[in-house]
Chain A
Amino acid sequence: MNSRVFYTLIRLAVVCAALGLAAGCDDVSTAELKTPVYKTGLKDSDDNKTSAFRKDFPLQAASYDRNNESTFMSKYKGSVNFMKNDDVDPLPEGYKQGAQPYLKNLWLGYPFMYEYREARGHTYAIHDILEIDRINRYGEKGGMPATCWNCKTPKMVQWIKQYGDDFWAKDFNQFRTEVTDDDSIGCATCHNAETMQLQLYSEPLKGYLKSVGKDPAKLPRSEMRSLVCAQCHVEYYFNDPGHGPTKRPVFPWKNGFTPEAIYSVYEDNGNVDMPGFKGKFADWVHPVSQTPMLKMQHPDYETWIDGPHGAAGVACADCHMPYQREEGKKMSSHWWTSPLRDPELRACRQCHADKTAAYLRGRIEYTQDKTYKQLLVAQEYSVRAHEAVRLALEYTGEKPADYDQLIIRAKEAVRKGQMFWDFVSAENSVGFHNPAKALDTLTSSITLSQDAINAALKATNYGIAPKLEGDIKQIVPPILKMSRKLQQDPEYLKTHPWFAYLKPLPKAGQMWEGNKKIQ
């Protein structure tokens, strides 16, 4: 050791000892923990691009940039954006181990049949929504409301200021050219730009909080560490005309967070006009079974909130934004990804310090293995239920007197059974956020789909029974490929029996590429 370092050490030791003894008078405070306060010089809601924050917060920005990593896979999840129905192709297009082969069948007639991929880092949110085939890129209009921007960009604050509730029902493609990757989910999504305090920008979440008498601006830190995520990682629907501002997003939480409570919200609040379903809400009508369907979207918050961790007050950020030290400073990780990515599982071991990483990983996969297995079973029952109703609708033999009631009963069970498995399927933890709820919901889903099959059988005096016997994968093969382009090809639509229920799309070339109009 050279003498300079030695003397520096001695000096440091003396200073520390002096400070330490002086600090010997000051005990730690047990008052509410005070988070650091900043004064950035940025204006809230005006400068909401992430690049504006980079200079003042280089460590957080560097952590945020790690969301660009897109090659990791855990057993079921990860950051490769593979097609979630594709259990045939290798990564990055498919993933045999974690795919759900019947998704395109079950979402037939709905944009999710075109493209639905594994989620990845927040930094890709804009890139991925501009690329997705769910939104029409073969015409001027996207065919989807501007509400689809709601959880992709903090630019929402400007747009809502500018258009108010008229924003939602505008066409998605109208705003394509206004965004770049710098507008992706970023600092301003969760932070007040002036003070960096946690802040909610989300209109539907603020709407919900006000409806239960909470002031969105005055919530404790313990709640905000989950609510900033609940701005987006939730199930939602868009208002039907006549039920509040058209296409405004709403979180269906007024009756609670269970699948049953959410289903009850969709029993009205809609404009379905079909015998047995009048006034109910539906996302689309499945063309094969003619059933008014419900689509679940990533109910991560609803699943977490009454699970073992959520009920104990363990926040999203506790596991997904663990404290880490960068350049000697303790800060929250801003790399939102699978906690299973860390070989040491350090996020878990902030609490489970007595457990090894291998043990913790084993416990997570214990739940995920079972959930994934039963999810695939529930989806097979759901496909069989659609097929049963299809056969019953087309049945020409002798029917019982209560045929119409039985068909309504069958469709109701198809709708609810599918909503229940979708609640688990769309949720991103493969059961881990709430193991009992996930498996209970899947059991209910299987029972409901079987009810639908039973009702359809009865409606045909069991005449369709022979056509429903055997392996469902032989009766209704999984649809591997479907896109807006493929649907323009009448020849391709002859390759699967269920495609007969889809209309071919008009021939058209691509008009939009990313945020540019190319035609």
Chain B
Amino acid sequence: MSEVSPRKCPWLKILLGGVALGVLVLAGLAWGMRVTDARPFCSSCHIMEQAARTHKLSPHAKLACNECHAPAALLSKLPFKAKEGARDFYMNTLGDVDLPIVAGMATKDVVNANCKACHFATNENVASMDAKPYCVDCHRSAQHMRMKPISTRMVADE
């Protein structure tokens, strides 16, 4: 029986190093995912200022943007974020954004699912999804206070 100290085993070192690296990479990714879910990142593009401002003034201010605007399940969230991010990046650089900016069907559905995910208990005993397609059809100001005068929401670009 040969006496080889575990310290001298190259395979174990590689394994441990790999695990450490994996943990670091995963931690980094998790951190990056969280940062890019949140308002400071989203509002770093000036065109999102109105949405960010009304979010910060709203009862939902402490939640991240993507708690409403991306699916909660990781397997759906990853591709959704990639797709939305790529589209927003394109529109902000090479595209031509027309005002007003209005949510598309995919976003409306994702947001609505997230309403239900957090507020399921409130609605447990009522058929609140029967009459209106979206929760915000009644809870309108949850859509970034869009019934308030423009001067409370926007200014011109420099």
Q: Measured between alpha carbons, how far is A377 from B49 in the docked complex, in Å?
A: 50
Whether A314 is near chain B, meaning CB under 8 Å from some CB there, is yes
Closest to B46 in A: A330
* Whole-angstrom distance between the Cβ of A51 and the nearest chain B Cβ: 22
* Whole-angstrom distance between the Cβ of A195 and the nearest chain B Cβ: 14
CB neighbours (8 Å) of A225 from chain B are 150-151
Determine if A28 and B157 form an interchain contact, defined as CB atoms under 8 angstroms apart: no
Q: Measured between alpha carbons, how far is A313 from B147 in the docked complex, in Å?
A: 10
* Whole-angstrom distance between the Cβ of A53 and the nearest chain B Cβ: 15
* Whole-angstrom distance between the Cβ of B143 and the nearest chain A Cβ: 7
Closest to B134 in A: A354
* B85-129, CB < 8 A from A: 89, 93, 96-100, 102-103
CB neighbours (8 Å) of A349 from chain B are 100, 102
CB neighbours (8 Å) of B38 from chain A are 24
CB neighbours (8 Å) of B102 from chain A are 349, 353
Whether B21 is near chain A, meaning CB under 8 Å from some CB there, is no
Tally the A-B contacts, defined by beta carbons under 8 Å. Answer: 111
CB neighbours (8 Å) of A329 from chain B are 156-157
Q: Measured between alpha carbons, how far is A349 from B98 in the docked complex, in Å?
A: 12
Q: Mark B40-74, 1 if CB is under 8 A from A, else 0.
A: 11011001010011001100000000000000000
Whether B20 is near chain A, meaning CB under 8 Å from some CB there, is no
* B119-158, CB < 8 A from A: 137, 140, 143, 146-158
| Other-chain residue from B36, B43, B157 in contact with A330 (beta carbon distance below 8 A) | B157
Q: Measured between alpha carbons, how far is A34 from B49 in the docked complex, in Å?
A: 12
Determine if A325 and B41 form an interchain contact, defined as CB atoms under 8 angstroms apart: no
Q: Measured between alpha carbons, how far is A19 from B46 in the docked complex, in Å?
A: 12
* Whole-angstrom distance between the Cβ of B152 and the nearest chain A Cβ: 7
CB neighbours (8 Å) of B43 from chain A are 23, 27-28
Q: Mark A6-37, 1 if CB is under 8 A from B, else 0.
A: 00010011001001110111111110011110
CB neighbours (8 Å) of A21 from chain B are 35, 41
Determine if B146 and A353 form an interchain contact, defined as CB atoms under 8 angstroms apart: yes
The stretch from A41-49, A315-323, A407-415 touching chain B is A315-323
CB neighbours (8 Å) of A322 from chain B are 99, 150
Whether A390 is near chain B, meaning CB under 8 Å from some CB there, is no
Determine if A350 and B39 form an interchain contact, defined as CB atoms under 8 angstroms apart: no
**Known contacts A27-B40, A27-B43, A346-B100: A313-B89 contact under CB 8 Å:** no
Determine if B99 and A350 form an interchain contact, defined as CB atoms under 8 angstroms apart: yes
Sorting the interface of chain A by its residue count into under 10, 10 to 19, 20 to 34 or 35 or more gives 35 or more
Whether A221 is near chain B, meaning CB under 8 Å from some CB there, is yes
CB neighbours (8 Å) of A518 from chain B are none
Determine if A350 and B150 form an interchain contact, defined as CB atoms under 8 angstroms apart: yes
| Other-chain residue from B40, B140, B146, B154 in contact with A23 (beta carbon distance below 8 A) | B40
CB neighbours (8 Å) of B155 from chain A are 33-36
* Whole-angstrom distance between the Cβ of B51 and the nearest chain A Cβ: 9
Q: Measured between alpha carbons, how far is A221 from B152 in the docked complex, in Å?
A: 9
Q: Measured between alpha carbons, how far is A26 from B149 in the docked complex, in Å?
A: 26
CB neighbours (8 Å) of B99 from chain A are 322-325, 330, 346, 350
* A266-313, CB < 8 A from B: 312-313
Determine if B151 and A222 form an interchain contact, defined as CB atoms under 8 angstroms apart: yes
Determine if B154 and A353 form an interchain contact, defined as CB atoms under 8 angstroms apart: no
Determine if A28 and B41 form an interchain contact, defined as CB atoms under 8 angstroms apart: no
Q: Measured between alpha carbons, how far is A318 from B153 in the docked complex, in Å?
A: 11
Determine if B157 and A23 form an interchain contact, defined as CB atoms under 8 angstroms apart: no
Closest to A36 in B: B158
**Known contacts A33-B155, A222-B152, A318-B150: A26-B100 contact under CB 8 Å:** no
Determine if B157 and A36 form an interchain contact, defined as CB atoms under 8 angstroms apart: yes
Whether A331 is near chain B, meaning CB under 8 Å from some CB there, is yes
Q: Measured between alpha carbons, how far is A324 from B41 in the docked complex, in Å?
A: 24
| Other-chain residue from B49, B93, B100, B156 in contact with A332 (beta carbon distance below 8 A) | B156
Determine if B52 and A222 form an interchain contact, defined as CB atoms under 8 angstroms apart: no
Whether A351 is near chain B, meaning CB under 8 Å from some CB there, is yes
| Other-chain residue from A315, A317, A318, A331 in contact with B157 (beta carbon distance below 8 A) | A331
**Known contacts A33-B151, A221-B151, A332-B156: A24-B146 contact under CB 8 Å:** no
**Known contacts A222-B149, A353-B143, A353-B146: A330-B47 contact under CB 8 Å:** yes
Q: Measured between alpha carbons, how far is A353 from B50 in the docked complex, in Å?
A: 15
Determine if A26 and B40 form an interchain contact, defined as CB atoms under 8 angstroms apart: yes
Q: Measured between alpha carbons, how far is A30 from B39 in the docked complex, in Å?
A: 13
Determine if A350 and B100 form an interchain contact, defined as CB atoms under 8 angstroms apart: yes
Determine if A30 and B150 form an interchain contact, defined as CB atoms under 8 angstroms apart: no
| Other-chain residue from A23, A314, A315 in contact with B44 (beta carbon distance below 8 A) | A23
Q: Measured between alpha carbons, how far is A314 from B148 in the docked complex, in Å?
A: 7
Determine if B98 and A35 form an interchain contact, defined as CB atoms under 8 angstroms apart: no
**Known A24-B35, A27-B43, A36-B158; 20 more pairs at CB < 8 Å:** A13-B89, A21-B41, A23-B44, A24-B38, A27-B56, A28-B39, A35-B156, A36-B155, A221-B151, A313-B148, A315-B149, A315-B150, A323-B100, A329-B156, A330-B47, A331-B156, A346-B98, A349-B100, A349-B102, A350-B99
Selected A-B contacts with CB under 8 Å, 10 pairs: A16-B89, A19-B44, A20-B36, A24-B40, A27-B40, A28-B43, A35-B156, A36-B155, A323-B150, A350-B150
Interface pairs A-B: 10 shortest CB-CB: A23-B44, A28-B52, A222-B151, A318-B150, A28-B43, A330-B157, A313-B149, A350-B100, A329-B157, A36-B158
